[in-house]
């Protein structure tokens, strides 16, 4: 893996304490960033599944973001829910 030299800015006290603890600042920063980057990717993959049936966008086609539920839903599940609502409001 190729490493890239970057400059970061740290709070003076954090820098001093990290040095006292003989922490590898570069290594510690990379560890935190690696965790954030890969967890974010993992979370994005998880959220791109239908909340109702669990199908991914590859299986179900386009997923739609529902508000205020704040979840992804496939068109099939939305259509099923819409039919329930339509059935529910038809006067008997």
Residues that bind Zn ion (CB under 5 A): 50, 52-53, 74, 77
In whole angstroms, the minimum distance from the beta carbon of 45 to Zn ion comes to 16
In whole angstroms, the minimum distance from the beta carbon of 48 to Zn ion comes to 12
3-state secondary structure string across the chain: CCCCCCCCCCCHHHHHHHHHCCCCHHHHHHHHHHHHHHHHHHHHHHHCECCCCCCEHHHHCCEEEECCCCEEEEHHHHHHHHHHHHHHHCCC
In whole angstroms, the minimum distance from the beta carbon of 83 to Zn ion comes to 14
**Are 56 and 48 a contacting pair, CB within 8 Å?**
yes
**Of residues 41 and 64, the one with the C-beta less far from Zn ion:** 64
In whole angstroms, the minimum distance from the beta carbon of 61 to Zn ion comes to 10
């Amino acid at each position: 893996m190729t490493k890239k030299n970057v400059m970061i800015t740290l709070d003076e006290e954090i820098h001093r304490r990290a040095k006292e603890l003989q922490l590898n600042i570069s290594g510690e920063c990379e560890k935190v960033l690696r965790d954030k980057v890969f967890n974010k990717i993992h979370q994005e993959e998880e959220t791109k599944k239908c909340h109702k049936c669990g199908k991914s966008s590859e299986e179900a086609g386009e997923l739609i973001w529902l508000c205020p539920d704040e979840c992804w839903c496939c068109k099939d599940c939305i259509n099923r829910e819409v039919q329930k609502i339509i059935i529910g409001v038809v006067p008997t």
